[in-house]
Amino acid sequence: MSSPEKVYIYGKHALEEALIAAPHAIKKVFLSPTAHDPELVSLIEKNQISLAELKQGKGGELVGSDATHQGVIAVMDPSSLLQDFDTFIGNLEVTPRTAVAILGEVQDPHNVGAIIRSAAAFGLAAVLIPEHRQAGITGTVVKTSAGMAFRIPLVTIGNVNYAIRALKEKGFWVYGLAMDGAQPLPTEKFDAPAAFVIGNEGEGIREKTLELCDIALSIPMHERTESLNAAVSAGVVFYAWNTKVHT
């Protein structure tokens, strides 16, 4: 990726998750006088992270006036959370119960965070994130992920199609989540390593990428509803996969 970017994460829970699972990503912490929780301060000091007072009114300047920061704001280097794809795939132990998510230009950070949270909840091995035309790891993503951005491997990929080809060489079966996909979710067996491609909120999966997928997977739903958003679709599919491979 390009030069390291500095972003803010906020809220006690998000910071605790970071300090426990990925303290190297946190560069500085701002706490308001009312947020000096002994356990939180102990974690900050244990990891030798710079601590400063969050002055009244300053929080809104850093993370936005509508952010519920609870008097807890930290400076994070998101690039330190991202693993190199070739290294990741080289070290990955692949079994029929292995699955990864591939974000295909998902641009709403709330969707990215929710997908990361669902991937962690249902046992996926990683979330693969393109470098370009894609929402990166921001404070909103971390907050929406409920701290799971620090718990599940996040892997940077330069090109979605390259990643798909590499995964296929490792034996992965690649599923494109598509509203009009030919394969209904309930009938899929999931008996091989799985890679799930989640496309852009408005345009879906790029045509060339969908052509690379082994299966276009659809979610049956009531006739009054045309589609689900990217994060909800991903969560439904991850749950179905988890249920099938662990029964």
> pLDDT band for position 4 (50/70/90)?
very low
Q: Reply yes or no on whether the pLDDT at 2 is more than 50.
A: no
Taking only the tens place, the pLDDT of each residue in 36-80 is 788 889 999 999 999 998 888 777 777 777 667 888 899 988 888
Return the CA Rg of the chain.
19
- DSSP alpha helices (H): ranges in the chain? 12-21, 38-46, 58-63, 85-91, 109-121, 139-144, 160-169, 207-212, 230-245
Q: What is the pLDDT of residue 99?
A: 98
Give mean pLDDT, residues 92-118. 96
Count of alpha carbons within 13 Å of 100, Cβ hemisphere only? 31
Contact 55, 34 (CB under 8 A): no
- pTM for this structure? 0.86
For residue 87, what are the contacts with CB-CB under 8 A and spacing of at least 6? none
Total residues belonging to the chain: 247
Q: SS3 of 60, please?
A: helix
Domains (range + CATH), the chain: 7-76 (3.30.1330.30), 81-245 (3.40.1280.10)
pLDDT of residue 5: 57
